[in-house]
Structure 1
Amino acid sequence: MLSISHLFMRIYMSRNYGIGHRDIYIAGKAFLKQSFKNKDIGATSFGDLAQRWSRFSRYIKYHTENGIGRLERITRESVIEYGKYLADKVDAEEISAGYAQNLVSAINSVMKTMPTDWKSVGPVRDCHLPKRSNVRTEIPGSMDRLAYENARAVLRQSGDPTGEALIGLARELGLRSKEASLLDVRKSLAEAERTGAVTVTLGTKGGRLREIPMTTAKQMEALRDASAAQGNRRSLMPTEATWKTWREGGLRSIRETMQQHTGGGLHDLRAAYACERYKALTGHDAPVIAGGIVDRTADLAARQQIARELGHGRIDVVSSYIGGRS
Structure 2
Amino acid sequence: MKVKVKRNFVGEKDLSRKQAAFRLAMEVVRSGNEGTIKKTAYAIMKLANYAKEVLEIKNLTRLSNEHMKDFAEHLRGEVGDGEIVLGHASNIISSLNRVFDHYGRDDLKLSAKAQGLNRGSRYYNIDRSVSEQTHNQLTDYLTKQYFSTGDIKFEVLRIQVEMERTFGLRFKESALHDLKGIHKKDNMLDVVKGTKGGNPRKVPILNDKGYDLLNYARDFKNEFDFNRSLIPDDMKFQQWQNFAYGVVKSFNEQNGTNYHFHGERHYYAQTRYQELTGFDAPVKSGFINGSYLNVMADYYGISLEEAKEIDIEARLTISEELGHHRIDVTNYYLGK
Q: Normalized against structure 1, the TM-score is what?
A: 0.73
| Cα displacement (A) at 1:30 | 4.8
2:101 aligned residue? 112
1:273 aligned residue? 268
1:248 aligns with 2:242: yes
Distance 2:160 2:57 in 1: 32
| Cα displacement (A) at 1:241 | 2.4
Contact 2:54 2:241 in 1 (8 A): no
Contact 1:255 1:266 in 2 (8 A): no
Q: 1:237 to 1:124 in 2, by over 3 A?
A: farther
Give the aligned residue type for 1:112.
D
Contact 1:174 1:273 in 2 (8 A): yes
| Cα displacement (A) at 1:281 | 1.2
Contact 2:166 2:210 in 1 (8 A): yes
| Cα displacement (A) at 1:236 | 1.1
Q: 1:257 to 1:173 in 2, by over 3 A?
A: farther
| Cα displacement (A) at 1:64 | 7.9
Q: 1:75 to 1:106 in 2, by over 3 A?
A: farther
Q: What is the percentage of aligned positions where both structures have the same residue?
A: 22
Q: 1:204 to 1:285 in 2, by over 3 A?
A: same
Give the aligned residue type for 1:113.
H
SS at match of 2:194: coil
Structure 1 residue runs without a partner (length 5+): 1-7, 18-22
SS at match of 1:236: coil
Give the aligned residue type for 1:150.
Q
1:156 aligns with 2:143: yes
Q: 1:16 to 1:275 in 2, by over 3 A?
A: closer
Give the aligned residue type for 2:166.
E
1:53 aligns with 2:44: yes
Task: State the Cα RMSD in Å.
Answer: 3.8
Q: 1:26 to 1:165 in 2, by over 3 A?
A: same
SS at match of 1:112: helix
2:301 aligned residue? none
1:32 aligns with 2:28: yes
1:178-189 maps to which residues of 2 (within 5 A)? 178-185=172-179, 187-188=180-181
| Cα displacement (A) at 1:276 | 1.0
Q: 1:89 to 1:249 in 2, by over 3 A?
A: farther
| Cα displacement (A) at 1:118 | 2.4
Distance 1:96 1:320 in 2: 12
1:217 aligns with 2:199: no
Contact 1:172 1:273 in 2 (8 A): yes
| Cα displacement (A) at 1:164 | 0.8
1:308-323 maps to which residues of 2 (within 5 A)? 308-323=320-335
1:84 aligns with 2:70: yes
| Cα displacement (A) at 1:137 | 1.2
2:15 aligned residue? none
Distance 2:239 2:116 in 1: 22
Contact 1:278 1:286 in 2 (8 A): yes
| Cα displacement (A) at 1:240 | 2.4
1:198 aligns with 2:189: yes
| Cα displacement (A) at 1:286 | 1.4
Q: Deviations over 1:145-177 (max 9, x none)?
A: 233112111111112111111110110110111
Choose the corresponding residue for 2:312, options 300, 308, 312: 300
2:61 aligned residue? 74
Contact 2:100 2:106 in 1 (8 A): no
Distance 2:242 2:276 in 1: 36
1:289 aligned residue? 284
Q: Deviations over 1:220-262 (max 9, x none)?
A: 2332343244342121122222223322332453477479676
1:5 aligned residue? none
1:207 aligns with 2:198: yes
